[in-house]
Amino acid sequence: MTLNSSSKLAGHATSRIALLDLHAAYLELKEEYDAAYGRVMQSGWYILGEELEKFEAEFAAFCRARHCIGVANGLEALLLILRGYGIGPGDEVIVPSNTFIATWLAVTHAGATPVPVDPSPDTFNLDPSLVESALTPRTRAIIAVHLYGQLASMDELSDIAVRRHLRLIEDAAQAHGAAWNGHPTGSLGHAAAFSFYPAKNLGAFGDGGAIVTSDPALFERLRRLRNYGSAEKFHHEFCGYNSRLDPLQAAFLRVRLGHLEEWNSRRRQIAAIYREGLAGLSRCILPAVPTPAVPVWHQFVIRHPERDQLRRYLDSLGIETGLHYPMPPHLSDAYSALGIRRGALPIAEQLAATVLSLPMGPHLPAAGARRVVGAIRDFEATRA
């Protein structure tokens, strides 16, 4: 990820197009950020407090949920949900085979076992038709990842969860503001985990995360879990964590939240340029969007059989790209103990070898996106 302060030149053939321009995101709202910073510093309150409570209320309302709990990061948001539901040793949790490793790590750190299921090659998200066969008497939950800002198939996954008495947890770390059948992420399962890593659609200036739920019992337990297992200072009901979103980041996030829908709309405009401009290229496979879904395009990810060659070609033209993700978790050293052999999860492995993330963000000019399209079409013409 490049911090490109020259986004206004991104349409020019001589300038470099960043995968994401974070500096422009700061400059656009600088005065609002400065005011938020001053408000927190003048308050003299730097852990928990009113600023965080206001963000939690505003983000819960944005997600159409009853409660929000600000935590330290997205990984701990998932972990605390699992702990909050008492999921741990001896339990199994269904996870996508194609996801950032944090989804799996949360299950592992809770003491449970991640059970991977391959995704749909069209949407990159968990394939509900494969979930049933992965369930066992030890299964306690399904984690539905809304990867790249695309929506998992929540109707089918919810049906499975209801029939099998499972918790349905949204990993919405990349999907702030996305919706399924008109319902936003954060309201589609029993609880949802969000990350506010700076590159996210709703990003902070450092790490941060949140849990959103309409379950009052889970909410009360999570408020204690994030704060050393304590609701009252020096009185600890259970072994908790130090996982709190600080007021300064909450203040910055309140600023960004007020612009999130507009910035997501800009992302959709860039995605429309890509989808229209790259349509018809037989070797360039575009992401499919299910009818009930309104994605927010955290990443715009294509598939290509000559991914590495295409990436080098784009780089030679000053176009930065990314790989999300070059290795599925089951092939990482971290999960070698599970003994999942290469070839056991073929869709995830195929995606890892072919996915390419194109420049995307609310500050990418349309001319820059069209330049990316033209470069890819030129590459394809050389292979005809």
| pLDDT tens per residue across span 268-278 | 999 999 999 99
- Among 272, 298, 267, which Cα is nearest to 201's? 298
Q: With contact defined as beta carbons under 8 Å apart, do 226 and 48 qualify?
A: no
Cα distances (angstroms) measured from residue 224 to each of 6, 57, 79, 220: 45, 18, 14, 7
> Which stretches of the chain are DSSP H helices?
22-28, 30-43, 50-62, 74-84, 102-109, 128-131, 154-163, 216-225, 247-257, 260-277, 307-316, 346-354, 366-382
Percent of the chain with pLDDT over 70: 96
Q: In this structure, what token pair is assigned to residue 49?
A: 């407090």
Confidence of residue 232 (pLDDT cuts 50, 70, 90): confident
pLDDT score, position 4: 41
pLDDT score, position 10: 38
pLDDT score, position 231: 87
At residue 90, what are phi and psi to the nearest 5 degrees?
90, -15
Q: In this structure, what token pair is assigned to residue 125?
A: 């998200």
pLDDT tens readout for residues 348-366: 999 999 999 999 999 999 9
Residue with tokens 């599925």, as numbered in its chain: 328
Residue 286 clears pLDDT 80, i.e. is over it: yes
List the beta bridge partners of residue 141.
93, 167
Q: In this structure, what token pair is assigned to residue 293?
A: 């879904």
| Averaged pLDDT for residues 105-126 | 97
pLDDT score, position 9: 35
- Among 56, 35, 61, 103, which Cα is nearest to 208's? 56
- Among 26, 68, 31, 27, which Cα is nearest to 213's? 68
Identify the CATH class of 260-382: alpha beta
Tell me the C-alpha distance between 104 and 107, whole Å.
5
Confidence of residue 5 (pLDDT cuts 50, 70, 90): very low
Q: With contact defined as beta carbons under 8 Å apart, do 313 and 375 qualify?
A: yes
CATH 3.90.1150.10 domain range(s) in the chain: 260-382
Confidence of residue 14 (pLDDT cuts 50, 70, 90): low
Tell me the C-alpha distance between 236 and 252, whole Å.
31
Residue with tokens 């910035």, as numbered in its chain: 263
pLDDT score, position 384: 72
Query: Given its phi and psi angles, is residue 2 left (phi above 0), alpha (psi -120 to 50 degrees) or beta?
Result: beta
Percent of the chain with pLDDT over 90: 94
| Averaged pLDDT for residues 56-67 | 98
Q: With contact defined as beta carbons under 8 Å apart, do 162 and 186 qualify?
A: no
Tell me the C-alpha distance between 113 and 92, whole Å.
5
Contacts for 59 with CB less than 8 Å, ≥ 6 apart: 68, 194, 210, 212, 253, 257
Q: In this structure, what token pair is assigned to residue 380?
A: 């394809």
Residue 160 clears pLDDT 90, i.e. is over it: yes
Residue with tokens 């910073």, as numbered in its chain: 37
Between strands 355-358 and 300-303, the pairing is antiparallel
- Among 111, 112, 130, 110, which Cα is nearest to 120's? 130
Tell me the C-alpha distance between 260 and 68, whole Å.
17
User: Helix or strand or coil: residue 357?
Assistant: strand
CATH number, domain 30-117+124-257: 3.40.640.10
Residue 7 clears pLDDT 70, i.e. is over it: no
- For the chain, the average pLDDT equals 95
How many degrees, rounded to 5, is the angle at CA 97 between CA 94 and CA 102? 80
Tell me the C-alpha distance between 375 and 356, whole Å.
14
- Among 127, 131, 176, 178, which Cα is nearest to 151's? 178
Between strands 293-294 and 179-180, the pairing is antiparallel
Q: In this structure, what token pair is assigned to residue 302?
A: 């294509």
User: Helix or strand or coil: residue 234?
Assistant: coil
Confidence of residue 6 (pLDDT cuts 50, 70, 90): very low
Contacts for 34 with CB less than 8 Å, ≥ 6 apart: none
pTM: 0.94
pLDDT score, position 383: 86
